[in-house]
Amino acid sequence: MSNPAALVIGNFLSSSAFNECLCEELARRLASSGWGVVTASDRLAKPARLADMVATAWRARGRYGVAWVDVFSGHAFLWAEAVCWTLRRAGKPYVLMLRGGALPEFASHWPRRVRALLGSATSVIVPSGYLFERMRPYRADLRLIPNALHVQSYRFRLQSLPSPSLIWLRAFHRIYNPALAPAVVARLAEEWPGVRLTMHGPDKRDGALEATRDAARQLGVEGLIRIPGAIPKDRVPEVLSTGDVFLNTTDFDNTPVSVLEAMACGLCIVSTDAGGIRHLLTDGVDALLTPRGDAEAMASAVRRILTEPGLAARLSSNARRKAESFDWSVVLPELERELQRAAAREATS
């Protein structure tokens, strides 16, 4: 059957030097699969972005048959509520994709709002087992479809003899606790004078970048850390290939694409066990997991990778193998089916 046109609502901000969100690649892949695609929004200012999302949902209602809406916590949840109210007024079916490891905590504070929004959608998708478990009280028939990436774009390099070359790739935001990374480097520097850390990502301007730089100065490791800033999506495989160990210092998480990308490259991953990470990674099999905020535990995990025979190669090969199950060739058909079902269900109701 022919595909209807789809409206994709999310943050299309990569042209403004922010990391590319999954909704951007989803829109491109739907278009390549023959869908007509309308998108919103690429406006940088938050009020303008919300206004553009709502206006597009209404003004373009004759150009699409089904909508996809990314749902985050905090103030962004209000955006999803406003867009979905507009979609209902326009008589359009919509699929929700729940994003962000902080959403369960938000839902515990606002259960009626969350239950109402999820219940209003034709379908609700979660990208991780963590969100599947934590969000089921608000809607029982959630669909678990993981985040995706094009695995073949990431050159696999088996880490049989890794060096103390560390990579960090996230937005500089407090929820990702980037200031933990300099503390890890400080604990490794005496034993491995050649340790280096490169931290890539956009500045979310909540003080996290400044806190990271301050921590590096106070710990005397600022000369061992580079912070080049945000990088274009198409340079991520190249950047990841410059490191051997990937640090994920987050306090809240779901199924982070940056970790999937590191897995695809075969990096040895050391991550906190926050949120959905425990559903994505298996400690000792494809990563080493540590408690949140524990710099010594994270440094000890890096030491194990650098010294324990066979550990790095095992983590590296298993990470790549798992990443292959997240390829777009596997995930996109499932996402398309959800959109098609939503459109068909509305047409027959």
In angstroms, the Cα distances linking 295 to 167, 178, 211, 272, 292 are 15, 11, 15, 10, 9
Q: Mean per-residue pLDDT for 182-206?
A: 96
pLDDT: which is higher, 41 or 101: 41
Enumerate the β-bridge partners of residue 226: 198
Per-residue model confidence as pLDDT tens digits over 27-38: 999 999 999 999
Domain 6-148+327-348 has CATH 3.30.360.10: no
pLDDT at 4: 84
Bridge partners of residue 70, in order along the sequence: 97
pLDDT value of residue 118: 98
Q: What is the model's pLDDT at position 258?
A: 94
Residue 17 is predicted with a pLDDT of 58
> Which SS3 state, helix, strand or coil, does residue 286 take?
coil
Q: What is the pLDDT of residue 290?
A: 98
Mean pLDDT of the chain: 94
Nearest-angstrom CA–CA distance, 141 and 123: 8
Could you tell me what percent of the chain has a pLDDT over 90? Answer: 87
Taking the C-alpha atoms of residue 259 and residue 186, their distance in angstroms, rounded to an integer, is 23
> Strand pairing partners for 39?
8
Cα–Cα dist 260/35, whole Å: 26
Whether the per-residue pLDDT at 286 is higher than 80: the answer is yes
Phi, psi of 297 (to 5 degrees): -65, -40
What are the tens digits of pLDDT across the range 115-144? 999 999 999 999 988 899 999 999 999 999
Round to whole Å and give the CA distance between 337 and 332.
Answer: 9
Q: Report which of residues 1 and 8 the model is more confident about.
A: 8
Confidence class of residue 205 from pLDDT cuts 50, 70 and 90? Answer: very high
- The DSSP 8-state label assigned to residue 283 in this structure reads B
Model pLDDT, residue 291? 98
Among residues 177, 225, 168, which one has the least CA distance to residue 200?
A: 168
Task: State the residue for tokens 């929700």.
Answer: 96
- With a cut of 70, say whether residue 283 has pLDDT above it: yes
Establish how many alpha carbons lie within 13 A of residue 261's alpha carbon, considering only the half-sphere containing its beta carbon. 21
State which fold the 151-326 domain adopts.
Answer: Rossmann fold (3.40.50)
Start-to-end C-alpha separation, the chain: 19
- In this prediction, residue 198 has a pLDDT band, given cuts at 50, 70 and 90, of very high
Question: How far does Cα 201 stand from its chain's mean position?
Answer: 13
Beta strands 165-169 and 66-71, pairing class: unpaired
Per residue in 249-281, pLDDT tens? Answer: 999 888 889 999 999 999 999 999 998 899 999
- Region 315-329: mean pLDDT is 96
Which pLDDT value is given to residue 334? 96
Please state the three-class secondary structure of the chain as a single string: CCCCCEEEECCCCHHHCCCCCHHHHHHHHHHHCCCCEEEECCCCCHHHHHHHHHHHHHHCCCCCCEEEEEECCCHHHHHHHHHHHHHHHCCCCEEEEECCCCHHHHHHHCHHHHHHHHHHCCEEEECCHHHHHHHHHHCCCCEECCCCECHHHCCCCCCCCCCCEEEEECCECHHHCCCHHHHHHHHHHCCCCCCEEEEECCECCCCHHHHHHHHHHHHCCHHHEEEEECCCHHHHHHHHCCCCEEEECCCCCCCCHHHHHHHHHCCEEEEECCCCHHHHCCECCCEEEECCCCHHHHHHHHHHHHHCCCHHHHHHHHHHHHHHHHEHHHHHHHHHHHHHHHHHHHHHC
The predicted model gives 91-106 an average pLDDT of: 93
Strand order in the sheet with 143-144: 37-40, 6-9, 66-71, 94-98, 123-126, 143-144
List every span in the chain annotated with CATH 3.40.50.2000: 6-148+327-348, 151-326
Residue 347 has pLDDT above 60, yes or no: no
Integer Cα distance of 182 and 185 in angstroms: 5
Residue 18 reports pLDDT greater than 90: no
Condensed to tens digits (0 to 9), the pLDDT of residues 48-85 reads: 999 999 999 999 999 999 999 999 999 999 999 999 99
Give the pLDDT band (50/70/90) at residue 21: confident
